[in-house]
Amino acid sequence: MIEKQCTLKNKVSVRGAGLHTRQCGTLTFNPAPVNTGIRFRRIDLENQPIIEADVDNVIDTTRGTTLGKGGVKIYTVEHVLASLRGMGVDNVLIDIDVEETPIMDGSGRKYVEAIRKAGVVKQKAKREYLVITEPISYRNDVLGIELTIVPSDTFMVDVTVKYNTKVLDEQSASLHDLNDFETEIAPCRTFVFLHELETLLSRNLIKGGDLTNAIVFVNKNVSSEELDHIAAFFKKPKVTVKEDGILNNVDLYFDNEPARHKLLDIIGDLTLVGKPIKGHVIAYKPGHFSNTAFARKIKHSLL
């Protein structure tokens, strides 16, 4: 059976603050013609410049994937891209009126709900896949990172993360059928270690974080004064550390939610190759820099 390209039946919008910039804006998914691909349009700027969701447009991977072209930027695109790929959308024009996509609850859930509400429809053109015919790998021996993709009739991902901490050591997650993305991967939220918060804040990042859009792991002894300081910064009456080593701001949806979120990030970053992939990804200790370097290697090996 010949698979067809897909777009949205109707346009649909979400609104929220960006994780790092705290800019509150609206992101709108618009139906698009065949062979459009995924494109972002900054409607707040003169001439409404467009940035294609292309790995060659990646300009930064600090705590997220940033696209840029001609001096125009879009921050933190990975959850949007993962949601579109997970829901089978090939062609879409994404209007956004700020520099950063809304973080929502730190997952892809709200984006998936919006796409579901808009509806996904088939188009007349054939869907073109990037088919993996031989293994392609990316390694960083210093950091112990390895990503490999091998031939497969479908798109599959296996991820292992390892942080060498008591509260979060080694975890794995798998997705072998994109039909399971909506329930098994999309709801999984981003995460951070408590000791990283001060560093991120000192770099003028996570200004839009509010303890409702991230799992916070605590891998050190924390005084009541430190917890009070955290509560005050995020405008919460009180925060405590639960028995499983996370702050009491959220409950885990899955025991391996961090690994599942890393899998979501991989799907988003690999969407930047420009076509849906037929191949099996095996990733060890992935991150946005390695994901996009891997995506770039795949794209330029096969296209």
Residue type present at position 107 = S
SS3 category, 260: helix
What token pair was written down for 120?
A: 């996904």
The secondary structure of 51-66 as a DSSP string is EE--GGGEEE-SSS-E
What token pair was written down for 58?
A: 């990646």
Choosing from 261, 280, 288, 300, the catalytic residue is: 288
Distance from C-alpha of 42 to C-alpha of 93, rounded to nearest angstrom = 11
Packing angle, helices 257-270 and 288-302, rounded to 10: 40
Query: What order of strands is seen across the sheet that includes strand 24-31?
Result: 12-17, 24-31, 92-96, 38-42, 50-52
Residues 6+ apart with CB under 8 A from 234: 209, 210, 211
Distance from C-alpha of 303 to C-alpha of 299, rounded to nearest angstrom = 6
Residue type present at position 181 = F
SS3 category, 5: strand
288 in active site: yes
- Nearest Cα neighbor of 11 from 31, 33, 40, 32 is 31
What backbone phi and psi angles, to 5 degrees, belong to 155?
A: -90, 125
> In whole angstroms, how large is the CA radius of gyration of the chain?
19
What token pair was written down for 278?
A: 């037929």
Residues 6+ apart with CB under 8 A from 290: 138, 140, 143, 145, 147
Distance from C-alpha of 49 to C-alpha of 69, rounded to nearest angstrom = 9
Which residues are marked as active site? 288
